[in-house]
């Protein structure tokens, strides 16, 4: 089992920045990818950004150039720096970890961007 705990969400004005963090614990020795997903009200959960153990990254087109994902393997954390936030970035952000074929999820942290 892998436990994921997110932090860093909150309310910010459009154009502002937030940094999300996720700490992994438990059976983390063979996690091969971590990432962030988000779900806005009435919408499906969507990928925001992922990063592999080898630090290869992937971003949704909607966040490219604004968001940066990073990983600290020594601290078992993955972070998401979000700049130039827009109202359409408002969502619950979920941390994800993939261990073999199993996907683990955190409980989510709410990000609200006001216009």
DSSP string computed for 53-77: TT--EEE-TTTTTTEEEEEETTTTE
Of 93, 99, 91, 84, nearest to 14 by C-alpha is 84
Q: 20 pLDDT exceeds 90?
A: yes
pLDDT of residue 32: 86
Q: What percentage of the chain has pLDDT greater than the value 70? A: 100
More confident residue, 43 or 55: 43
pLDDT average, residue stretch 18-38: 92
Higher pLDDT, 30 or 25: 25
Q: Cα angle vertex 49, ends 4, 5, to 5°? A: 15
Contact in structure between 1 and 102 (CB atoms under 8 Å) = no
Q: How far apart are the first and last CA of the chain?
A: 40
Q: What is the mean pLDDT of residues 107-112?
A: 98
């Amino acid at each position: 089992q892998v436990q994921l705990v997110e932090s860093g969400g909150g309310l910010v004005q459009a154009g502002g920045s937030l940094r999300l963090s996720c700490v992994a614990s438990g059976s983390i020795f063979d996690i091969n990818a971590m990432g962030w997903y988000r779900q806005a009200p009435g919408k499906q959960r969507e990928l925001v950004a992922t990063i592999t153990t080898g630090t290869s990254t992937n971003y949704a087109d909607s966040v490219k150039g604004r968001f940066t994902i990073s990983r600290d393997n020594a601290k078992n954390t993955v972070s998401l720096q979000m700049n130039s936030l827009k109202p359409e970035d408002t969502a619950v952000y979920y941390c994800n970890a993939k261990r073999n074929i199993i996907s683990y999820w955190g409980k989510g942290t709410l990000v609200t961007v006001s216009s």
